């Protein structure tokens, strides 16, 4: 309740300051000629008295000084709208709409964020942080090489300070600033055009068919689907273009014929280059509305390196036909001439189709660019293609600049994983009274995770990343989005691998910065004499409270499907941002009070947040159900309570079984497992051997002394109890169905994954079975409607979620078992509710994601 109170209060305080979050922009912003009648251009160009209409391609606005009698007002500089130039997405997957002012020398004079969709800037990181970040560009030039991070004078790199916790956002914003500024600066002559060596042709006199030109790469396709611009899916593309080079004699004659090529060459001056475009499908024109108004082809551009080339009517020649055999039919065609000496046909270039993407929910239009690359083949150029050094992607520059820290962090993660994989060697050297062989490594991992990982690298994983990955998997996966923060990316590789190998406990118990801080406080408080007040939560209450974190996780997941911004706000139930990313003293008091309450409670209760509130831990606990390797148990553990009494995570039940979803891998039970004096069954057997003068043999892998006589190692009472080596009672479903070979088991297992109904369930829950068949038909129909473009992504997710809930119920009434341990082994056990929920949720997520990606790739699923 305290967390909810603090969260509600914080949300109320934070909301008013976020005026640009999902702000409403004028509906005709992308097309209105008078940009500054719609936007506050004077905010980004102080001192300007008037502004021109949009000019150029990409568009910009000229800013003028005060008018004087008998003279034209002086040109002071330029104003540009970022989304007229680039649609670079930020962390939310949407661009940060930015208005930028630049003087005639190319210096930035003003920056204003008009709209963003960054949930991370809703709470904890105010919009003022983004304003301060943008202010760093004032006075800097578009000619400067600006990167997020420290300056590197030896490489002529100017650094700008990042926003802690919003790395992806500021890296994207840096791209927006530089791409927008340089695009206009090149257009108006502030940045000189690049000089490229002219192409030298390797002629053979060969005539190519269309199919041969395609195979050679001498013609390329640019295809835009309707759903890419926010329209309803259709088998017909929004536009389909073919384009190619007309400068090489063999290509020009193949495409235009001898007379056509000769005519083209007669119209070109020295240094001018030509290429063709034809529209072979789609109803959209590539000429664009600007062509009608002012003779500008505002839908197409050619990009070569950092240069962009646009075309007017004087740069276009009619294309009356393609002579290459097998050329496609087309409804629109043109030959464009590039007159700039900076263009060279020998170097790679891109054809860009510039369009508007329509938001179906709001009707708002935003800039979108679609590109297709072209580069003449080696064989057509004397000496082959020139060597081209492409600039590194922003994420790659970050990795290079942080190489040492990334290497140290990766080495730390690998070292911890290796030590944990060899944990039995450490636990055998430890005893209940001397755990230092284990604790030396564990405490070192805690210290490094708190100081180096948490406060140093600020690499604290969060539930918001889980939600972002989930959405990306279903809607649009962008590698650069995740690679921009290398420490979080590497950390998640470690988490995913170790969760499926060992369960969530290695991350949560050893490497989570906040979890380590909470545990360290508990241990230090014990050393300071507060042990008498450190009491575990009563087991019955603990068994109820532990489900709270799962409720929080599923609640956040459900909210995120409808409103990712709201889910990010609710994710403030995590104290990570306040503790490591922003800092307690940089946030409103409710956040600091919430963190103080959790850490203060950690003095008396071991890891209270980790056990009861953490949605990240809950999300990792579900796949932990299927970890390959667990902690060891022996049969006598079902009657001995020694491990359960000392388990800080309270993850061992009355039958001695370990719940690997709750286990935090403190390894205390593994120390007892081989401790001859601490483990009651071993102590009893040791005393018997000492009394009878028998040899004290080593402890075997089963946790017992290697036998020397016929006396059974397992007590009769323990032998009659449940087997604690399995999380639940073992099951053998396929043997009961008569499967005797591995292939029969495999076939039955695949069928069970896809078909949840059973004879047992039909006998006991017939009404539920019938209802499920109806629901399965409805869910299948929903996927078919989605495949026809008649059902949205949100509707499909709703149907799939409903089916998953039903599948849990139907499996629990019949096929109530899951696999335990490595997936290639045939170990099955009876499933509890959380086991089945984890299994069905994980399985259906993979199936649903595969279907989503298939429908998306075919262009059948609307947004």
The pLDDT tens digits of the residues spanning 373-401 come to: 999 999 999 989 998 887 778 888 889 88
Quickly tell me which residue has 């028998």 as its tokens: 694
- Residue 473 pLDDT grade (very low, low, confident, very high; cuts 50, 70, 90): low
Q: What angle do CA 755, 757, 762 make, to 5 degrees?
A: 165
| Under 8 Å between Cβ of 284 and 225 | no
**Mean pLDDT of the region 424-448:** 93
Q: SS3 of 2, please?
A: helix
Helix (H) or strand (E) holding 858: helix 833-858
Strands 97-103 and 108-115: antiparallel
**Mean pLDDT of the region 419-425:** 94
> Does residue 69 have a pLDDT over 90?
no
Tokens of 235: 């088998």
> Does residue 310 have a pLDDT over 80?
yes
**Mean pLDDT of the region 622-646:** 89
CA nearest neighbour of 681 among 700, 666, 658, 661: 700
- Residue 796 pLDDT grade (very low, low, confident, very high; cuts 50, 70, 90): confident
**Res 430: pLDDT:** 93
| Under 8 Å between Cβ of 160 and 147 | yes
Alpha helices in 305-435 (DSSP H): 394-401, 403-421, 423-429
**Res 2: pLDDT:** 44
Q: What is the pLDDT of residues 458-472, one digit of tens each?
A: 899 999 888 877 777
- Residue 474 pLDDT grade (very low, low, confident, very high; cuts 50, 70, 90): low
Measured distance CA(352)–CA(712) in Å, rounded: 79
Q: What is the pLDDT of residues 487-525, one digit of tens each?
A: 999 999 999 999 999 999 999 999 999 999 999 999 999
- Residue 122 pLDDT grade (very low, low, confident, very high; cuts 50, 70, 90): low
Q: SS3 of 469, please?
A: helix
The better pLDDT of the pair 745, 217 is held by 217
Mean pLDDT of the chain: 85
**Of how many residues is the chain composed?**
863
Q: What is the pLDDT of residues 321-377, one digit of tens each?
A: 899 999 999 999 999 999 988 899 999 999 999 877 776 555 666 667 899 999 999
Measured distance CA(281)–CA(278) in Å, rounded: 9
How far is CA 502 from its chain centroid?
24
Q: Which residues contact 175 (CB under 8 A, 6 or more apart)?
A: 86, 88, 394
For residue 116, the cross-strand partners are 21
Burial class (CB in 10 A: 0-12, 13-18, 19+), 36: buried
Query: How much of the chain exceeds pLDDT 70, in percent?
Result: 90
Cβ neighbour number for residue 264 with a 10 Å cutoff: 20
| Under 8 Å between Cβ of 491 and 580 | no
> What is the rounded (10 degree) CA torsion for 607, 611, 613, 615?
110
**Res 292: pLDDT:** 43
> Does residue 736 have a pLDDT over 50?
yes
């Amino acid at each position: 309740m305290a967390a909810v109170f603090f969260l509600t209060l914080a949300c109320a305080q934070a909301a008013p300051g976020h005026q640009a979050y999902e702000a409403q922009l004028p509906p005709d912003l992308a097309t209105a000629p008078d940009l500054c009648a719609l936007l506050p251009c004077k905010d980004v160009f102080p001192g300007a008295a008037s502004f021109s209409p949009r000019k150029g391609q990409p568009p910009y606005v000229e800013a003028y000084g005060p008018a004087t009698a008998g003279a034209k007002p002086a040109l002071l500089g330029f104003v540009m709208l970022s989304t007229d130039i680039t649609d670079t997405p930020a962390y939310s997957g949407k661009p940060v709409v930015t208005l930028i002012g630049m003087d005639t020398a190319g210096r930035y004079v003003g920056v204003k964020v008009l709209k963003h969709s960054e949930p991370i800037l809703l709470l904890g990181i105010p919009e003022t942080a983004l304003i301060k970040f943008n202010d760093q560009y004032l006075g800097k030039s578009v000619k400067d090489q600006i990167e997020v991070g420290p300056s590197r004078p030896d490489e002529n790199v100017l650094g700008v300070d990042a926003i802690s916790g919003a790395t992806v956002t500021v890296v994207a914003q840096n791209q927006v600033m530089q791409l927008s500024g340089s695009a206009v600066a090149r257009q108006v002559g502030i940045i000189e055009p690049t000089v490229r060596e002219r192409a030298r042709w390797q002629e053979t006199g060969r005539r190519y068919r269309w199919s041969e030109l395609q195979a050679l790469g001498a013609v390329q396709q640019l295809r835009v689907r309707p759903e890419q611009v926010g329209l309803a899916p259709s088998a017909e593309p929004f536009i389909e273009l073919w384009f190619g080079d007309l400068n090489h004699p063999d290509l020009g004659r193949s495409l235009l014929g001898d007379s056509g090529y000769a005519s083209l060459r007669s119209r070109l001056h020295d240094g001018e280059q030509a290429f063709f475009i034809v529209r072979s499908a789609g109803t959209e024109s590539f000429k664009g509305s600007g062509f009608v108004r002012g003779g500008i082809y505002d839908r197409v551009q050619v990009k070569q390196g950092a240069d962009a080339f646009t075309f007017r009517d004087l740069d276009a020649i009619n294309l009356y036909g393609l002579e290459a055999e097998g050329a496609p039919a087309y409804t629109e065609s043109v030959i464009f001439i590039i007159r700039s000496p900076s263009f060279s046909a020998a170097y790679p270039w891109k054809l860009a189709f510039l369009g508007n993407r329509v938001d179906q929910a709001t009707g708002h239009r935003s800039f979108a660019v679609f590109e297709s690359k072209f580069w003449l083949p080696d064989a057509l150029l004397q000496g082959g293609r020139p060597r081209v050094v492409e600039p590194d992607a922003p994420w790659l520059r970050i990795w290079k600049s942080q190489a040492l820290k990334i290497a140290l962090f990766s080495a730390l993660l690998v070292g911890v994983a290796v030590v944990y994989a060899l944990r039995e060697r450490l636990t055998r050297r430890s005893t209940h009274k001397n755990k230092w062989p284990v604790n030396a490594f564990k405490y070192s991992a805690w210290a490094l995770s708190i100081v180096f990982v948490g406060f140093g690298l600020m690499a604290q994983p969060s539930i918001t990343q889980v939600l972002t990955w989930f959405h990306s998997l279903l809607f649009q996966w962008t590698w650069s989005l995740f690679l921009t923060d290398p420490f979080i990316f590497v950390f998640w590789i470690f988490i995913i691998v170790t969760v499926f190998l060992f369960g969530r406990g290695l991350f949560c118990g050893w490497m989570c910065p906040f979890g380590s801080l909470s545990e360290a406080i508990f241990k230090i408080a014990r050393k300071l004499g507060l042990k008498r007040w450190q009491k575990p939560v009563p087991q019955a209450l603990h068994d109820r409270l532990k489900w709270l974190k799962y409720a929080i996780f599923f609640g956040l997941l459900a909210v995120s499907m409808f409103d990712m911004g709201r889910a990010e706000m609710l994710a403030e139930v995590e104290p990570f941002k306040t503790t490591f990313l922003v800092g307690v003293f940089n946030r409103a008091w409710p956040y600091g009070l919430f963190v103080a309450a959790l850490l203060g409670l950690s003095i008396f209760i071991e890891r209270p947040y980790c056990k009861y509130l953490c949605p990240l831990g809950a999300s990792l606990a579900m796949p932990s159900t299927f970890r390959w390797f667990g902690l060891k148990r022996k049969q006598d553990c079902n009657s001995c309570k020694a491990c359960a009494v000392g388990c800080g995570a309270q993850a061992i039940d009355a039958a001695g079984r370990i719940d690997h979803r709750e286990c935090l891998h403190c390894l205390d039970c593994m120390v007892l497992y081989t401790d001859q004096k601490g483990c009651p069954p071993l102590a009893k057997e040791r005393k018997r051997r000492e009394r009878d003068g028998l040899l004290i043999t080593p402890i075997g892998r089963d946790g017992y002394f290697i036998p020397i006589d016929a006396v059974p190692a397992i007590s009769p009472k323990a032998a009659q109890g449940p087997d604690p080596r399995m999380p639940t009672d073992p099951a053998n479903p396929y043997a009961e169905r008569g499967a005797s070979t591995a292939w029969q088991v495999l076939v039955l297992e695949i069928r069970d994954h896809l078909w949840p109904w059973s004879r047992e369930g039909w006998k006991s829950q017939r009404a539920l079975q019938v209802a499920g068949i109806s629901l399965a038909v409805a869910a299948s129909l929903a996927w078919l409607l989605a495949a026809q473009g008649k059902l949205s992504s949100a509707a499909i997710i709703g149907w799939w979620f409903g089916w998953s809930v039903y599948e849990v119920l139907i499996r629990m009434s019949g096929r109530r078992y899951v696999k335990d341990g490595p997936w290639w082994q045939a170990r099955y056990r009876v499933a509890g509710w959380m086991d089945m929920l984890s299994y069905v949720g994980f399985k259906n997520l993979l199936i649903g994601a595969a279907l989503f990606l298939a429908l998306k790739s075919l262009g059948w699923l609307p947004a």
